[in-house]
A = this chain, B = another copy of it.
Amino acid sequence: MRGRPKSVETPPVIAPPWVPFEDRRRARDEKRDAVLRMAVKMFLTEGYHRTTLNEVAARLNITKPALYNYFRSKDEILVECYRIGQETYEANIEGIERQGGSGLAKVRALIRAYVRAITTDFGMCVTRLDDRELSTEARASVRRAKRSYDTAFRTRIEEGMADGSIMPCDPKLAAFAIAGSLNWIGHWYEPGGELSAETIGEEFAIRLTGGLAAK
């Protein structure tokens, strides 16, 4: 888990030595990724402020200034973490829009998707790290994204209330309740623990809608 983590993913077979350029670029990207993965992990376990670039670098067996080959500032590292996190959410949510079904079914699908996202490091960082560290623009972007997730839930709930699959309720509070349960996962989920992301997703899809579902 420390140092060169990407070595696992590079093809274990003999890499042809005559693709040095491609190689270099890949190596660079892999290292950049390694930095990000290490950074997000440390940001999550230690907190952004208490994580010094020195420590990040040390854990990667490089020195602090080397990080500046891949990122312009500590801030930029954080922004990248958020960006990847947002992508994770969007990648998981994407398909749901198109898929049919009742409002309730969609809410459940959203919950499962959200759980999948929040149980990854980058996904978790979006909800657990303090977005006040970000620059004004970056923060604005992140907040917009967060609001859009909330809106997605709210809209589906209203849809469900319209099609009769969801009992009448205040969609705003209902969405807040669901979002809270989901975001909180980031505080107790342990990767590799006895509760898998799938299990949590299934359980929460039922549990959090049990009170919404029309009888």
Q: List residues of chain A with CB under 8 Å of any chain B CB.
A: 46-47, 49-50, 130, 132-133, 169-170, 173-174, 176-185, 187-188, 195, 200, 203-204, 206-213, 215
What is the CB-to-nearest-CB distance from A143 to chain B, in angstroms, rounded to a whole number? 12
Docked-complex contact B180 and A185, CB < 8 angstroms: yes
Task: Please tell me if the beta carbons of A188 and B176 are within 8 angstroms of each other in the complex.
Answer: yes
Bound state CA distance, A140 and B211, in angstroms?
Answer: 35
- The docked-state distance in angstroms from the alpha carbon of A200 to that of B215 is 24
Q: Which residues of B contact A47 (CB under 8 A)?
A: 130, 132-133
Contacting residues, chain B, for A208 (C-beta < 8 A): 177, 211
B-side contacts of A173, CB under 8 Å = 195, 200, 203-204, 207
A50 in complex: contacting residue of B132, B170, B180, CB < 8 Å: B132
Jot down 16 A-B pairs with beta carbons below 8 A, ordered by A.
A47-B132, A47-B133, A173-B203, A173-B204, A173-B207, A174-B207, A176-B184, A176-B188, A177-B184, A177-B207, A177-B208, A180-B185, A181-B184, A183-B184, A210-B210, A211-B211
